Amino acid sequence: MPQSPTSRNREPRTENREPSTHGGARPGAGRDPAPYKRKNVTIELPEPLIAKWDAHCAKKKLSRAESLAKWLKWKKPGKKK
């Protein structure tokens, strides 16, 4: 029995085809790249110290990264203060 033209096993036709206008990323969509490079750092700390650090961060409403950057007095490029 011959296969129907809508069979999933056939090769897609590409000749005389207009470029697709649907799907894919939209121009300007997404997050802009950060103005600085970031690198992950892993450190080993005792559990009580981590708990104390997390409590400090929660109290000050900071992330661990923000807390550490503030402690090191590091300012993000392009941020005024």
pLDDT band at 30 (very low <50, low <70, confident <90, very high): confident
Percent over 90 (pLDDT), the chain: 35
Alpha helical stretches, state H, 1-81:
47-60, 64-71
What's the whole-number average pLDDT of the chain? 80
- Position 19 pLDDT exceeds 80: no
- pLDDT computed for residue 71 by the predictor: 92
Give Cβ neighbours of residue 67 (< 8 Å, ≥ 6 apart): 53, 56, 57, 60
> What pTM was computed for the model?
0.51
- pLDDT computed for residue 34 by the predictor: 79
